[in-house]
């Protein structure tokens, strides 16, 4: 029997990222994926700012940026044209030059489709000590008070302390647990996602776009950028033949050389699992929640699941936290998934709610109940026993900076503390105390006594004479007005020390 601390089932982007986060925290991790290698057919392309922050935390910002598309000179979001050739004939609207957001230290130079992201995650997981086994499916599992016993398609048995199911929208683990789903479910008829190779460089020169809606009746669909040059995806109805002629019609180039690489049948879904954990088994990514693609929230929300869970599992496995800490995974991630699903749904009815900039777009979002995308990614707040006095609602639908105000349950505010070093970088995946530059000595002494890192920084969100206690995932656990002597007790409470699971 093979043993591991955590068995991750599924090697999509979420399973791989979870393996990276777990091994970053020193957790023994075995990931099993039934396919023979990483997924070659990408679905997600948009990597959000919060995901970029998590990659930065584990030292992968540079590696992912290096494989992201270079759109640093600017790009368009979603555009519309009869054919791609028609788009090429119009004067390109001035592309918005992407700039580093003032609220985050992390920024990718452009999209990073999954077929570029996953190999980086795979290498990083292995470098950090995780075992990733391809061609290895989970067949069945049982759990008891001690752990999980799993049977693999190779005939091997695995004994794990915990199991993370990142096995996708049709999660067999979720089904085996009997966990139901909430939400409308399938939203559209099945469509197809055609991955093809064709040199479209001349047509898109100066007009990089995330997606181009093609309206020509001969080939209606959505052209999505994969490498921005020779690799593309065309999303269209299932009754269209996935052949070069279809791509020629969509691009408006009758003699275009086209190689169809693969097709994927999919349908937009909106569903959230009724619970994200049962006993020692946790659901993450599409296994826990599936959201329609508009908004580019699915993968990003899934990666954040793994990030939220990894530090908790690590501390419980090391005996530094009580098992009840793991109950905060469902309490924190399920509401985020539900709100994210609502936000993706509202965008389906009007994509301009997502892409629109400026006051008119903000007003339209306010009327429709849509949050600005950065607020969906970064402005949501955790309410759980791992936060003292949480503040539930994002206080602004438009302004993410207003959401990142140091409130308990929010992602701690970013400020540069020295060249290239953010307040977030100081967290180093550990509980960390932040004080103002004056009046922090007593906090620093108390933090040192408890073995915590402490930093004095210029951050207006820290109460004078008080402190922010930040969790390993960069979220504010406690905003203290004073009383450093309470720090140890607060930590015991946050970590559910002395409590049963």
Ligand X SMILES: Cc1cc2nc3c(=O)[nH]c(=O)nc-3n(C[C@H](O)[C@H](O)[C@H](O)COP(=O)(O)OP(=O)(O)OC[C@H]3O[C@@H](n4cnc5c(N)ncnc54)[C@H](O)[C@@H]3O)c2cc1C
CA distance 158 to 1: 6
CB 352 → ligand X: shortest distance, Å? 17
CB 444 → ligand X: shortest distance, Å? 39
CB nearer to ligand X: give 234 or 443: 234
CB 142 → ligand X: shortest distance, Å? 15
CB nearer to ligand X: give 183 or 406: 183
CB 260 → ligand X: shortest distance, Å? 17
CB 298 → ligand X: shortest distance, Å? 3
Q: In terms of DSSP bridges, do strands 231-237 and 476-480 run parallel, antiparallel, or are they unpaired?
A: unpaired
Task: Convert residues 225-254 into a mask of x (bound to ligand X by CB under 6 A) and - (unbound).
Answer: ----------x-------------------
Task: Candidates 4, 19, 23, 43: give the one binding ligand X (CB under 6 A).
Answer: 43
Please, which of residues 89-148 interact with ligand X by CB under 6 A? 137-138
Say whether residue 293 binds ligand X (CB under 6 A). yes
384 touches 392 (CB < 8 A):
no
Task: Candidates 168, 183, 390, 394: give the one binding ligand X (CB under 6 A).
Answer: 168
CA distance 361 to 483: 45
Task: Candidates 7, 11, 60, 462: give the one binding ligand X (CB under 6 A).
Answer: 11
Task: Candidates 103, 141, 282, 297: give the one binding ligand X (CB under 6 A).
Answer: 297
Phi, psi of 177 (to 5 degrees): -75, -15
CB nearer to ligand X: give 10 or 110: 10
Say whether residue 29 binds ligand X (CB under 6 A). no
Q: In terms of DSSP bridges, do strands 148-152 and 138-143 run parallel, antiparallel, or are they unpaired?
A: antiparallel
Task: Convert residues 260-279 into a mask of x (bound to ligand X by CB under 6 A) and - (unbound).
Answer: ------x-------------
Contact segment (CB under 6 A) with ligand X among 26-34, 272-280, 313-321, 341-349 equals: 26-34
Say whether residue 221 binds ligand X (CB under 6 A). no
Contact segment (CB under 6 A) with ligand X among 42-50, 199-207, 240-248, 271-279 equals: 42-50
What is the 3-class SS of 471-485, one letter each residue? CCCCEEEEEECCCHH
Say whether residue 299 binds ligand X (CB under 6 A). yes
Say whether residue 34 binds ligand X (CB under 6 A). yes
CB 64 → ligand X: shortest distance, Å? 14
- E strands within 112-180? 131-133, 138-143, 148-152, 157-165
Task: Candidates 4, 6, 8, 12: give the one binding ligand X (CB under 6 A).
Answer: 12
Side by side, which strands form the sheet with 209-214?
76-81, 209-214, 221-225, 231-237, 191-197, 259-266
CA distance 106 to 53: 5
CB nearer to ligand X: give 139 or 490: 139
List, as one string, the DSSP characters of 87-113.
HHHSPPPPPBPP---TT-S---SS---
Say whether residue 298 binds ligand X (CB under 6 A). yes
Contact segment (CB under 6 A) with ligand X among 163-171, 177-185, 271-279, 327-335 equals: 163-171
CB 268 → ligand X: shortest distance, Å? 7
Say whether residue 286 binds ligand X (CB under 6 A). yes
User: CA 35 from chain center: how many Å?
Assistant: 22
* Residue 242: C-alpha distances to residues 41, 237, 266 (Å): 15, 10, 14
- H-helix or E-strand spanning residue 7: strand 2-9
Say whether residue 382 binds ligand X (CB under 6 A). no
Task: Candidates 2, 28, 35, 182: give the one binding ligand X (CB under 6 A).
Answer: 35
453 touches 390 (CB < 8 A):
no
CA distance 92 to 110: 18
CB nearer to ligand X: give 45 or 435: 45
CA distance 501 to 476: 23
User: CA 444 from chain center: how many Å?
Assistant: 33
CB 89 → ligand X: shortest distance, Å? 27
CB nearer to ligand X: give 49 or 315: 49
CA distance 429 to 491: 15
* Residue 248: C-alpha distances to residues 218, 297, 339 (Å): 10, 31, 39
Task: Candidates 105, 110, 147, 172: give the one binding ligand X (CB under 6 A).
Answer: 172
Say whether residue 207 binds ligand X (CB under 6 A). no
Q: Radius of gyration of the chain from Cα atoms?
A: 23
55 touches 116 (CB < 8 A):
no
CA distance 36 to 133: 9
CA distance 10 to 57: 23
CB 277 → ligand X: shortest distance, Å? 16
Nearest one of 339, 401, 389 to 494, comparing CA atoms: 389
CB 10 → ligand X: shortest distance, Å? 3
Q: What is the largest CA-CA distance in the chain?
A: 75
Nearest one of 365, 360, 8, 43 to 166, comparing CA atoms: 8
Say whether residue 302 binds ligand X (CB under 6 A). yes
Kindly list the residues in this chain that would bind ligand X in the complex (CB under 6 A): 9-15, 32-35, 39, 43-46, 137-138, 166-168, 172, 193, 235, 266, 285-286, 293, 296-300, 302
């Amino acid at each position: 029997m093979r043993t591991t601390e955590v068995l991750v089932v599924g090697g999509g982007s979420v399973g791989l990222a979870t393996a990276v986060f777990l091994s970053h925290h020193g957790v023994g991790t075995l990931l099993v994926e039934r396919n023979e290698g990483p997924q070659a057919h990408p679905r997600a392309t948009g990597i959000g700012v919060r995901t970029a922050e998590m990659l930065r935390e584990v030292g992968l910002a540079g590696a992912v940026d290096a494989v992201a598309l270079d759109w640093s000179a600017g790009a368009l979001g979603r555009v519309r044209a009869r054919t791609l050739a028609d788009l090429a004939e119009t004067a390109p609207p001035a592309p918005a030059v992407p700039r580093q957001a003032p609220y985050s230290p992390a920024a990718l130079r452009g999209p990073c489709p999954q077929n570029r992201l996953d190999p980086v995650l795979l290498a990083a997981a292995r470098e950090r000590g995780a075992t990733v086994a391809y061609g290895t499916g989970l067949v069945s599992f049982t759990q008891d008070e001690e752990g999980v016993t799993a049977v693999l398609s190779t005939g091997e048995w695995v004994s794990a302390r915990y199991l993370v199911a990142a096995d996708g929208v049709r999660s067999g683990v979720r089904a085996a647990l009997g966990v139901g789903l909430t939400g409308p479910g399938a939203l559209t008829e099945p469509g197809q996602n055609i991955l093809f190779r064709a040199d479209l460089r001349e047509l898109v020169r100066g007009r990089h776009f995330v997606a181009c809606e093609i309206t020509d009746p001969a080939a209606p669909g959505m052209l999505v950028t994969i490498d921005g040059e020779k690799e593309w995806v065309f999303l269209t109805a299932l009754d269209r033949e996935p052949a070069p002629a279809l791509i020629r019609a969509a691009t408006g180039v009758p003699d275009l050389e086209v190689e169809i690489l693969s097709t994927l049948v999919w349908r937009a879904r909106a569903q959230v699992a009724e619970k994200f954990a049962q006993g020692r088994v946790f659901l993450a990514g599409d296994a826990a929640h599936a959201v329609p693609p508009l908004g580019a929230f699915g993968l990003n929300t899934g990666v954040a699941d793994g990030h939220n869970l990894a530090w908790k599992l690590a501390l419980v496995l090391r005996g530094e936290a009580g098992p009840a800490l793991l109950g905060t995974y469902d309490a924190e991630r399920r509401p985020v998934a539900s709100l994210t699903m609502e936000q993706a749904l509202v965008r389906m009815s009007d994509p301009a709610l997502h892409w629109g900039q400026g006051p008119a777009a903000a007003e339209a979002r306010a009327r429709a109940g849509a949050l600005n995308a950065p607020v969906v990614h970064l402005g949501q707040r955790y309410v759980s026993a791992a936060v003292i006095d949480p503040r539930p609602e994002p206080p602004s639908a438009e302004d993410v900076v207003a959401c990142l105000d140091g409130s308990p349950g929010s992602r701690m505010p970013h400020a540069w503390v020295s060249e290239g070093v953010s307040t977030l970088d100081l967290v180093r995946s550990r509980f960390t105390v932040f004080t103002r530059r004056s009046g922090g000595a007593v906090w620093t002494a108390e933090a040192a006594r408890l073995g915590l890192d402490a930093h004095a920084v210029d951050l207006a969100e820290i109460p004078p004479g008080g402190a922010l206690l930040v969790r390993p995932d960069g979220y504010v656990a406690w905003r203290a007005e004073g009383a450093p002597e309470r720090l140890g007790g607060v930590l015991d409470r946050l970590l559910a020390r002395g409590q049963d699971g």
